Structure 1
Amino acid sequence: MSSRAVPPEAKATAKASRQINVVLRNPAPPAPLDPELPAPNRTMANSGPFAEIMKELDRMVGLEHVKELIFEIYALLQVGQYRSEAGLLSNPQVYHMIFKGNPGTGKTTVARIIAKLFQSMGLLQKGHLIEVERADLVGEYIGHTAIKTRELVKKAMGGVLFIDEAYSLARGGEKDFGKEAIDCLVKSMEDFRDQFILILAGYPEEMEQFLATNPGLPSRFPIQLDFEDYSVDQLLQITEQMTKEKDYVMLPQTVAKLKQHLAEEKVMVWRSFSNARYVRNLLEKSIRHQAVRLMGQYNSAPSKQELMTIRPEDLRLYKN
């Protein structure tokens, strides 16, 4: 009996898919199934639709475990295509997700990238992101919440529905309409199983409490990602990226001042620290202060170097 020829790369990725399937079913990192498995090979993705997505991911500072899981999802989808072409069954997966992390840790950006990935791999038709919060879902009277929620699900068809601070849906009492929104979302996940992806996001502790309110919820979200706070060095990298994108540069003294401030701020307000959002706001405020300083120093246009330079005095760290 003749056997169907299978490309060597398909054999390797099929072997790796055993480990990938375990990861997607269990959010906790599993022990390696085969110690001889090679490290993930991204060469195959460099020339395909995943290449631009990987470039966008790689530009993000940190989030290594998030990047690895996204590659695992890509690999699983690609191997599924190889299996179909080889006449094998390609078992469907559930891709609804939970994102746990503090503000400014990249949750929305990653959700947008995942939407693009699923669209490029044919899992979603449009690949757009609909970002909502409690006020967009919960109505003011009986039946209003279901109408609002179904309308947003309809808008998300072919893409991703991203609900930030999702735990707020379960914070009210028995008469609160948030529970109605949850019930409507769960029903939509069943009725439109392969037509949209639901991602719930919020603070880690609150999301754990939210999932505990309904025993059936965790199993509906087999992929759960933890977005850790950025370190001081990572925040400095993010600031450097932002300044470069805006055609500015920070003097070494400015960077030293910022580094000291971030170290102090992370200790003082660890619970509500907004990570990349915090340094972006600091940078934008510094640019405003730099503009005021230049207008006061020069009677004509400053040099190009001065227009680009953010000095320590521009980095004002008081609250306003």
Structure 2
Amino acid sequence: MANALKGSLIEYYGYLKILDICNQDKLKDDIRTLQELLNDLDELIGLGNVKEKVYNLIDYQKVQKMRRDKNLQTTKSTLHLAFTGNPGTGKTTVARIVGRIYKQIGLLSKGHFVEVSRTDLIAGYQGQTALKVKKVIEKAKGGVLFIDEAYSITENDHSDSYGRECLTELTKALEDYRDDLVVIVAGYTEPMKKFFDSNPGLKSRFNTFIEFEDYKATELEEILITMCRNNDYVLSEELRINIRYFLEKQVSNKNENFANGRMVRNIYDDLVMNHARRVVDIDDVSREDLSLITDKDFVLKIE
């Protein structure tokens, strides 16, 4: 029994060491300057409200750090953030950039990004969830812990003791590691309100709440065109008109499950696949054939 426990401990700490090495390798690869990271944020299509809030947040944190360096009084605010809104609105992308920016301005020691869901935090047996959360926190320290659909932790709020155990441990970590850990929770707006109401001390750990609005049809079109351009594809003028009409209709008829950028990604994938099927058998295929996507490749139903 003792030998088995010893072996498990060695495997566990060996696993953590490997994770740390992998994270360090990833961080070494990311050599972007602060200005380059800010440019990456600026280049994101749409998200005007989000960019403004992130810029304000960065300015505030930079000044607080300068005040601390000069031994001036600073407010005891946390770095933790809450992102709300529909899927496909850029929450994960912005979270990654924020982590690297915080590293560049000296708020985080590593700036790496760890994304988890309910299954990564909650164990199947009583008492093990706290250990699982601690392991995730240990992995994320120095960087960003991103919890998407965070409300799923407490979705069975009347019977889920595992969820409550997870939330208790997470709330403690938000305070204990506030100086070198950013936790960003994200999800649909209304369920996230219930999530924060589920634990009295949870909401107080978050100072900044950012709403990610749905994209407009013109922004979705721009996202698609950018994806094509970055991969050496061009949309024909007729296809652009058809897609514009399709996107306008999707936006006007959207519901709470509107997929935003994910929908555009699906359209792009379908276009590229249909284009490949069309040109694969062309004799003496030209460069234009291989890059031009036409209305023949757009098979989505347009009513």
Matches of 1:279 and 1:304 in 2, distance apart?
A: 25
2:81 touches 2:208 (CA, 8 Å); kept in 1? yes
2:297 is equivalent to residue 309 of structure 1: no
- In the alignment, does 2:60 pair up with 1:76? yes
Equivalent position amino acid for 1:223 in 2: T
Counterpart of 1:201 in structure 2 is 186
Matching residue within 286, 296, 314 for 2:271? 286
Q: Aligned residues: percent identity?
A: 37
2:217 corresponds in structure 1 to 232
SS at structure 2 position matched to 1:103 = coil
Of 97, 111, 133, the residue aligned with 1:113 is: 97
Counterpart in 1 of 2:5?
A: none
Alpha-carbon distance between aligned partners in 1 of 2:111 and 2:160, rounded to the nearest angstrom: 36
Give the one of 203, 209, 216 matched to 1:218.
203
Structure 2 equivalent of residue 271 of structure 1: 256
Which TM-score applies when normalising by structure 2?
A: 0.84
Counterparts of residues 123-272 of structure 1 (less than 5 Å): 123-172=107-156, 173-272=158-257
Structure 1 residue 87 displacement after superposition: 5.0
* Cα 1:205/1:235, change in 2 over 3 Å: same
Quick one: which of 25, 41, 61 aligns to 1:57? 41
The 3 A distance-change label for structure 1 pair 81 and 164 is: closer
CA distance in 2, matches of 1:110, 1:146: 28
Deviation at 1:72, TM superposition (A): 1.5
RMSD: 1.8
Paired with 2:69 and 2:122, the residues of 1 have a C-alpha distance of 45
**Per-residue Cα deviation, 1:173-198 (whole angstroms, up to 9, x for no partner):** 32441111111100111222212111
The list of structure 1 runs, each at least 4 consecutive aligned residues, that deviate by more than 6 angstroms after superposition, is none
1:76/1:175 Cα in 2 relative to 1: closer, same or farther (>3 Å)?
Answer: closer
Instruction: Give the letter for the 1:218 counterpart.
Output: K
Please tell me the residue identity of whatever aligns with 2:297: D
Equivalenced residue count is 270
Structure 1 SS opposite 2:299: coil
Q: Find the aligned partners of 1:313 and 1:270 in 2 and give their Cα distance.
A: 29
TM-score by length of 1: 0.80
Give the distance between the partners of 1:86 and 1:204, measured in 2 at CA: 39
The structure with the largest helix share of the pair is: 2
Residue 141 to residue 81, structure 1, CA distance change in 2 (3 Å): closer
